[in-house]
A and B are shown apart, each in its own frame.
Chain A
């Protein structure tokens, strides 16, 4: 199965490798995966979405 790849510059990759090992991740890929998920959660879960939902509900535009 095809898996997408992301290019990183070498210096950053070396840092990822080091910190992944120090922090106890099984691989740099696992560390990157975890870091990105955490970052994306900031945007997705966001209070902002809930605030919009409440406002639109108050205005009668969603149920």
Chain B
């Protein structure tokens, strides 16, 4: 009922793929793109060793915390934008959002992030992992609270290992959440178990 009210008041939702960086958000973007969703990406950040299939990013969204004019977001109703969890707090609340939030074990996320930083030569400035783990845990608690208590957000949580284990099942659930008629088989084909790197033996999810 509340969703319908917000839909009428703020229009068609923008679809956001969110999560901590390195939690599998790019994979989700690929799934949605293959399934037939319009993706918002400028392709400025190109594929590399860390993301062999590309980042699917939109540079403008990365400045969300520094700009006051966010009216441009309205132009992307009905489309998908990758928005890391840190920036969700900066979204304007005169819009409606469907959020697909990827959850992944924090140790795996940190390992993957650290590798990325090492490759870029900036690992020297790393905050110790234990401290970062605490930071992320607290950050995620705030994010979940905001997502669950702000009526502009409809949220669907996805666990990374579950997508790898059952891509078709997860694709169907995402399709149901979005209320679309996506090609779920094509979505599932975007998932490559071989890209599940930095795997933790006993996964604990964020």
Identity of the chain A residue whose Cβ is nearest the Cβ of B45 in the assembled complex: A60
> In the docked arrangement, what's the CA distance between A43 and B127, Å?
19
CB-based A-B contact count at 8 angstroms: 54
Contacts of A26 in B (CB 8 A): none
Number of interface residues of A (CB under 8 A): 16
Name the contact of B86 in the complex, choosing from A46, A56, A58 (C-beta under 8 A): A56
Say yes or no: is B62 at the interface (Cβ < 8 Å to chain A).
yes
Contacts of A62 in B (CB 8 A): 62-63, 65, 84, 86-87
Interface residues on B, range: 20 to 34
> In the docked arrangement, what's the CA distance between A51 and B120, Å?
18
Name the contact of B66 in the complex, choosing from A58, A59, A63 (C-beta under 8 A): A63
Say yes or no: is A53 at the interface (Cβ < 8 Å to chain B).
yes
Q: Describe A's contact surface by its main secondary structure.
A: helix
B residues lining the A interface (CB < 8 Å): 21-22, 45, 59, 62-63, 65-66, 84, 86-87, 113, 116-117, 120, 122, 125-127, 131-132, 134-136, 138-139
The 6 closest A-B pairs by CB, nearest first: A48-B135, A61-B21, A63-B62, A58-B122, A63-B63, A51-B127
